[in-house]
Amino acid sequence: MTVQLLTNIGRLWTGMELLSNAAVILQHDRVAWVGPAAELPQSLPGVINDIVDVDEVENLGGGLVTPGFIDAHSHPVYAGNRYAEIAMRASGASMSEITSAGGGVASTVTVTRGTDPWTLCNGVRERLRHWLLSGTTTVEAKTGYHLTRDGELADVRLLRSLEEEPGMPRLHVTFFAAHAVPPEYFGRPRDYVDAVASWLGDAAQAGADGVDVFCDSQQFTPEDARWLLSIGRSVGLQTRMHACSRPRHGAVRMAADLQCSSVDLLHETDEDDVLALAKTGTPVVICPTTSLHERRTPPVRALLDHGVPVALGTDHNPAQSGSTSLPLAVCMAIAMFDMSVLEALRAATVGGAIALGAADRGVLAPGRYADMVQWDADHEGAFAWAYGLKALRVWRGGESIR
């Protein structure tokens, strides 16, 4: 197997600690060794007999290196755009006015259903490519804009097929048919919940990793969410919840009680919710772009101070956030949520791995995937300055993508 030595790394955030003048040894798609360059081993049992046997040596010129970022919340499978709706909202239009004008989730559902699979696939492929080139090597990718059995399952298969293509990030596929009640089920929300419940086993077989429910007074009730997540768990799916309701109606507490894989957004959360999350160790995913758009802020400082695992997401979607840049989310989290640079970097790496249950990434340590990024900076403080720090080099499984 190919053995690579990456040396002269000025500053290395491993996911757990900062190292200066560091080096990394990669074997095939995994990290074999990481540490200060002065401590490079002369031999590494099971990997190489002697350091001179390294196949490739690369000098990174004193740069800043981190694990590949992990976007723990995104909605990349859709067609069309909602620019007109966004302009209406920016001009003060209410949601009812936007819906009356043909906007809302239903508009994206209509366009996505009417788009041929080839065109839809090309659009998703291009978005995922942007993620990887900006330094995000793993993306949690939700379905949720077909809202039919066949359409949602096709979206799962589409994502799984794209993951196998060169130049794509790793994907964590979340089945999100419980995104909204589709138009054909108007006035029959319970019938739609029953339908989604019957699709979950098929979603797991098609390759989904998890199931998500939008728990909100306008979408699905906590009782709906509990039932769907319980069924999802029974067929082997990780459980996630959009807990962004206004007003609060117990979604966060229920997600903690269920020990969901993650509970996301948390725009309406009190101290008791934070304590419940801390008690169960339930990970939280925060999305700064959405918080800015909603003008509502989750209690990130309280979550961190209570030891709740925190991950970051772009919440890329056609209605609110067009960004695929997790480096931008890192900078916004520092500015908006009172996070330190290392807290934000931890959320973008280790936190994402925890939220996705992906113990093989997020940290540069022996045996983990060699997913790495070299950034256009020589110090991690640049993340708080650049509003989208540029990735100079991206490695996915030891392979240099750019």
Token pair in block for residue 369: 């995937």
Residue found under tokens 């190489």: 48
What is the rounded average pLDDT of the residues 103-110?
93
> How does pLDDT run across 111-155, given as a tens digit for each residue?
999 999 999 999 999 999 999 999 999 999 999 999 999 999 999
> How does pLDDT run across 250-309, given as a tens digit for each residue?
889 999 999 999 999 998 788 999 999 999 999 999 999 999 988 888 999 999 999 999
Q: What is the pLDDT of residue 94?
A: 86
Contacts with 33 (C-beta within 8 Å, 6 or more apart), sequence order? 23, 24, 25, 40, 41, 44, 47, 366
> How does pLDDT run across 357-376, given as a tens digit for each residue?
999 999 999 999 999 999 99
Q: Where are the domains of the chain?
A: 3-67+363-400, 69-356
Residue 146: helix, strand or coil by DSSP? coil
Distance of CA 55 to CAs 4, 25, 37, 45, 364, Å? Answer: 6, 11, 18, 16, 20
Q: Which helix (H) or strand (E) holds 7?
A: strand 3-13
Q: Is a pLDDT exceeding 90 seen at residue 51?
A: no
Residue found under tokens 């995000």: 136
What interhelical angle do 251-258 and 271-280 show, nearest 10? 10
Q: What is the pLDDT of residue 218?
A: 74
Q: What is the mean pLDDT of the chain?
A: 94
Are 30 and 367 spatial neighbours (Cβ–Cβ below 8 Å)? yes
Contacts with 34 (C-beta within 8 Å, 6 or more apart), sequence order? 12, 14, 19, 22, 23, 24, 25, 364, 365, 366
Higher pLDDT, 43 or 153: 153
Per-residue pLDDT band for 1 (boundaries 50, 70, 90) equals low
Contacts with 30 (C-beta within 8 Å, 6 or more apart), sequence order? 366, 367, 368, 369, 370, 397, 398
Distance of CA 37 to CAs 15, 27, 351, Å? Answer: 18, 17, 27
CA distance 401 to 101: 43
CA distance 182 to 53: 60
Q: What is the pLDDT of residue 219?
A: 82
Q: What is the pLDDT of residue 279?
A: 96
Q: Residues 354, 358, 362, 367: what is their CA dihedral angle, to the nearest 10 degrees? A: 130
Token pair in block for residue 290: 């959405």
Q: For residue 138, which of 159, 123, 111, 116 has the smallest C-alpha distance? A: 159
Q: What is the pLDDT of residue 264?
A: 96
For residue 74, the cross-strand partners are: 316
What DSSP designation does 349 have? Answer: I
Percent pLDDT > 70 in the chain is 96
Q: What is the pLDDT of residue 52?
A: 44
Percent pLDDT > 90 in the chain is 85
Q: What is the pLDDT of residue 48?
A: 47
Contacts with 272 (C-beta within 8 Å, 6 or more apart), sequence order? 253
Q: For residue 387, which of 340, 344, 325, 345 has the smallest C-alpha distance? A: 325
Are 63 and 391 spatial neighbours (Cβ–Cβ below 8 Å)? no
Quick one: fold of 69-356? TIM Barrel (3.20.20)
What interhelical angle do 149-163 and 189-206 show, nearest 10? 30
> How does pLDDT run across 173-197, given as a tens digit for each residue?
999 999 999 999 999 999 999 999 9
Superfamily of domain covering 3-67+363-400: Urease, subunit C, domain 1 (2.30.40.10)
Q: Residues 359, 250, 73, 175: what is their CA dihedral angle, to the nearest 10 degrees? A: 90
Residue 341: helix, strand or coil by DSSP? helix
Are 67 and 365 spatial neighbours (Cβ–Cβ below 8 Å)? no
CA 396 distance to own-chain centroid: 16
CA distance 293 to 322: 12
pTM: 0.96
> How does pLDDT run across 293-352, given as a tens digit for each residue?
888 889 999 999 999 999 999 999 999 999 999 999 999 999 999 999 999 999 999 999
